[in-house]
Structure 1
Amino acid sequence: MTLTLRYAARSDVGLVRSNNQDSAYAGPHLLAVADGMGGHAGGDVASRLAIAALAPLDRTEHGPEEALTDLEHTVERARQDLVRASDADPELVGMGTTVTALLHTGTTLVMAHLGDSRAYLLREGVLTQVTVDHTFVQHLVDTGRISPEEAEHHPQRNVVMRVLGDFDVDLTPDMSVREARAGDRWLLCSDGLSGFVSPEQITEVLTETPEPDAAADLLITLSMTAGSTDNITVIVADVVEDDDAPAVEDAASAPVEGVTAPQIVGAAATGELPAVLATPADDPEDPAPVDQAAALDDADDPEDEDADDADARPERRRRPWITVLVVLVVLGGVGYGLWRAYGWTQQQYYVGVADGEVAVFQGIPASAGPLTLSTPVELTGTPVSDLPDYWADRLDGSIRASSEAEARQRADRLIAEAAPEPTPSPTPSPTPSSTPSTTPSKATKPADTKPADTEQAADTTAEKTTDKADGGSKG
């Protein structure tokens, strides 16, 4: 049984950033995501360099035993490219990028990982995070200083401790070999997705969306709906038997119409590599480097024929319906993704403010263009002005719930907790009398605290009084 990959790659600049510093490559034998960082243009260049170095691995020559070595050496070559590029251009100094790559060969998948771009595996309906983030917060979790729940909202959760950088330090990536099993679905993504969309939502999308391209579109939409402040890049890839997919060709010759044509997205799909990379790096232990720019160009346009091949050009002009079909499919996928994303938002609830009152909302506290994604469904009758500032500030949409009943319970609990504690009224002090009283008051000496000898004395006095009364009556 021969296994192959059916995949889709997507990348979006997001809601805040002005440029996309993510890059990704998806091909018949290679999946890779790189999240660049450093300076105005450094992140773009770093992620593009990483993908350019990795792209030539998308071929069939790798055996199971040599794939691990080839991938590790290629990541090291990419690091050397970053060093050489920053040495040639001071404006690029300090750039770096995460790298998460899967190299498919036979029935195995070889993985290299640096940084906080993640790889997830969906197998038999169960989603597993395969990679471990190389971040400061993950280090705190591993050492038991904070919990995984606290890590999700830690202010330093984006501080990466290990990346592919231009500093001349050897940071070995995490290398592993994993089984490729038919029916598995892999997700590679930057933290623009994993930092904003929960594992439960990711599981739902990957489980209920059969086609990789529709699943990738929906994940991008969910991340933007959740207010992602970063670039968003995802690759969704299914491991399928060779009979379930069209024949696979190498990256340089894969047909455009085939689902196995390589896809390059993000910064790697635009711009140019630094000119200094035209000269191969001097590394006697590394295999002779290939023309990385040519590899990206070939993968970007696998049907780019020679200029003298006049027969192919009229053929493309005779098939305009293919372009129309591709556009319709893309628009249909985007529309379906938006519909699924909106449907998901309407299954959510939160506690907020409507008409000056604490209210329960259906949806999420966000908007998509002119469309508002939430509606108040119940007013509690409690004015927000009656709440202390601390409690009123919590009504910013962060109190989420999975049902209207749960949202109402959370609203009631907030109102109850915000209610001021009743202050007990002070007991009035007794007014001193001008004539001392011979009988102690209950406030100063309760009857049940009377000493035993006092009770005996009172009994003796009562007996004497009785005796005197009896004696007087007899006489």
Structure 2
Amino acid sequence: MTISLRYAARSDLGLGSKNRNEDSGYAGPDLLVLADGMGGHAAGDMASSTVVAELVGLDGESYGSDEALRRLSSAVDHANARLREEMDHEPDLEGMGTTLIAFLRSGSMLAMANIGDSRAYLVRDGVFTQITKDHSFVQALLDDGRITAEEAEHHPQRSLVTRVLTGREEDEPDLSLREAKVGDRYLLCSDGLPDYVAAGTIESILTGDGTPGEIADRLIAIALKAATRDNVTVIVAEVVDEKSPVSTSPQVVGAAAAHHVVPDADDTQPRTPAEKAAALRREANAPASTGDTGGDGGDDAPATPMLAEEGDRGRFTWLRRSLLGLLVLAVLVVAGVLGYAATQRQYYIAQHNGKVTIYQGISQNLGPIRLHSADTVTDIWVADLPSYDRGKVTSKTMTSGSREGAISIVENLRSDMVACQLQLDGSSC
């Protein structure tokens, strides 16, 4: 059965200190895209809108299922290369990056690409599931069994991502192909929603009654009610029979709308009381800006003279923003240092050049930053270990919170090896 998508996209600046939206969202008949940008200066919004701009050309085209996945993968590669070009052209953008979730429809199939910690959820037959896996430091801790799911929800480094699009060739998204069924409801969201709103609350809203637009409005409203300090963007899409009436007009929100990725698209304005209240609070706290003087005058029209007090106020505003920027930078640096220090209190056992080795740190990398280093290369050959121990060494599942604990693990491996070689337990190497 051929299906159609009924969709809605919403985005809000949030209640934090950000003065621009670094999220970008696009929802069209065959394509859903959400990106959460990061980086200094104007880099975050530039990164997310650049990637969305590179993908929108996929909408409205007809592809076979396998071709759709290849086209989506190729488009993400081109978008990533475009980020590199932008940074090479404008050095101030160096270091920018963005998460990405994209769905491309092909008949009744959805090709999906995901990288970063933005999320996609699915409601099918009333069952709510998360269908993406975060590429984050906290997710790595979860995978290794070092923390519980409850601890992950409030972990201080939960926003530390390990894989995003940064313009490097090794930035590879997860790719998959899934069947879409009539009645399915999808949610794509930036971390401004799940970082502040409990999964149970998101589930309650997403499984409730309402159109995609109404549900998207409720999700934005609950994020604002939870005082989200981050930009928050959601895309809600329902799978319907192709005969059902649907809109074919794309919706573009966030930085992609500000950068006019699709000039004729509807940049959704705040609709709910919570969104309007948040917008009014931001306007009330924002410094006054000069507006258009009106009339028929062009660039040559005389400007309104600025009083001395206005000039002083402008300089004070600039100074205040500069100091705030330095403070934010200092906080980020401290958070990064503390996060890195936390990883270096961990140890794990792996192999190096065929020998059992104690590594300090964790087995993941944070982009180009290595979070581990060889501490001690032992004289134990991995090939001499019993098969069970070999598997644990190669899978890097033996971890310890101290170097002494790691040494103890190695000594246990040595004992197992000796016992195996002497066949004291009846086994063989």
- CA distance in 2 between partners of 1:297 and 1:334 (Å): 25
3-state SS of paired residue (1:193): coil
One-letter amino acid of the structure 2 residue matched with residue 23 of structure 1: S
In the alignment, what sits opposite 2:358? none
Q: Deviations for 1:56-94, whole angstroms, at most 9, x for unmatched residues? A: 010232111200000000000001000000000010000
Q: Deviations for 1:169-218, whole angstroms, at most 9, x for unmatched residues? A: 32211000011100000000000011111121111111223211010011
2:263 matches 1:297: yes
Q: Deviations for 1:393-443, whole angstroms, at most 9, x for unmatched residues? A: xxxxxxxxxxxxxxxxxxxxxxxxxxxxxxxxxxxxxxxxxxxxxxxxxxx
One-letter amino acid of the structure 1 residue matched with residue 124 of structure 2: R
Within 5 Å, give how 1:99-118 maps onto structure 2: 99-118=100-119
Q: 1:225 to 1:300 in 2, by over 3 A?
A: closer
Q: Deviations for 1:320-352, whole angstroms, at most 9, x for unmatched residues? A: xxxxxxx9xx88x625x88xxxxxxxxxxxxxx
1:334 equivalent among 254, 272, 276: 272
3-state SS of paired residue (2:193): helix
2:121 matches 1:120: yes
Shift of 1:297: 2.7
Within 5 Å, give how 1:291-330 maps onto structure 2: 296-297=262-263, 299=265
3-state SS of paired residue (2:111): strand
One-letter amino acid of the structure 1 residue matched with residue 215 of structure 2: A
- CA distance in 2 between partners of 1:59 and 1:261 (Å): 11
In the alignment, what sits opposite 2:144? 143
One-letter amino acid of the structure 2 residue matched with residue 237 of structure 1: A
| Unmatched tracts of structure 2, length 5 or more | 282-429
> Is the contact made by 2:128 and 2:207 (CA closer than 8 Å) also made in structure 1?
no
Q: Deviations for 1:373-400, whole angstroms, at most 9, x for unmatched residues? A: xxxxxxxxxxxxxxxxxxxxxxxxxxxx
> Is the contact made by 2:117 and 2:161 (CA closer than 8 Å) also made in structure 1?
yes
> Is the contact made by 1:27 and 1:261 (CA closer than 8 Å) also made in structure 2?
yes
Within 5 Å, give how 1:28-43 maps onto structure 2: 28-43=29-44
In the alignment, what sits opposite 2:226? 226
Q: Deviations for 1:21-64, whole angstroms, at most 9, x for unmatched residues? A: 00000000000100000002000100001100110010232111
TM-score (norm 1): 0.56
Shift of 1:271: 2.7
- CA distance in 1 between partners of 2:226 and 2:106 (Å): 36
CA RMSD in angstroms comes to 2.3
| Unmatched tracts of structure 1, length 5 or more | 247-258, 273-292, 302-326, 339-367, 370-475
In the alignment, what sits opposite 2:3? 3
Shift of 1:260: 2.6
In the alignment, what sits opposite 1:50? 51
In the alignment, what sits opposite 1:189? 189
In the alignment, what sits opposite 2:254? 266
Q: Percent identity?
A: 51
Q: 1:300 to 1:226 in 2, by over 3 A?
A: closer
- CA distance in 1 between partners of 2:127 and 2:2 (Å): 24
Shift of 1:105: 0.9
- CA distance in 2 between partners of 1:138 and 1:265 (Å): 28
> Is the contact made by 1:214 and 1:334 (CA closer than 8 Å) also made in structure 2?
no
2:94 matches 1:93: yes
> Is the contact made by 1:7 and 1:260 (CA closer than 8 Å) also made in structure 2?
no
In the alignment, what sits opposite 1:13? 13
- CA distance in 1 between partners of 2:36 and 2:240 (Å): 28
- CA distance in 2 between partners of 1:141 and 1:208 (Å): 30
TM-score (norm 2): 0.62
Shift of 1:126: 1.3
Shift of 1:300: 5.6
- CA distance in 1 between partners of 2:70 and 2:265 (Å): 23
> Is the contact made by 2:23 and 2:232 (CA closer than 8 Å) also made in structure 1?
yes
- CA distance in 1 between partners of 2:237 and 2:104 (Å): 12
Shift of 1:243: 1.6
- CA distance in 2 between partners of 1:104 and 1:194 (Å): 25
3-state SS of paired residue (1:131): coil
Within 5 Å, give how 1:62-77 maps onto structure 2: 62-77=63-78
- CA distance in 1 between partners of 2:129 and 2:259 (Å): 35
Within 5 Å, give how 1:194-209 maps onto structure 2: 194-209=194-209
Q: Deviations for 1:224-243, whole angstroms, at most 9, x for unmatched residues? A: 11111100000000000012
- CA distance in 2 between partners of 1:28 and 1:15 (Å): 31
Shift of 1:298: 5.1
- List 4+ stretches of structure 1 deviating above 3 A: 298-301
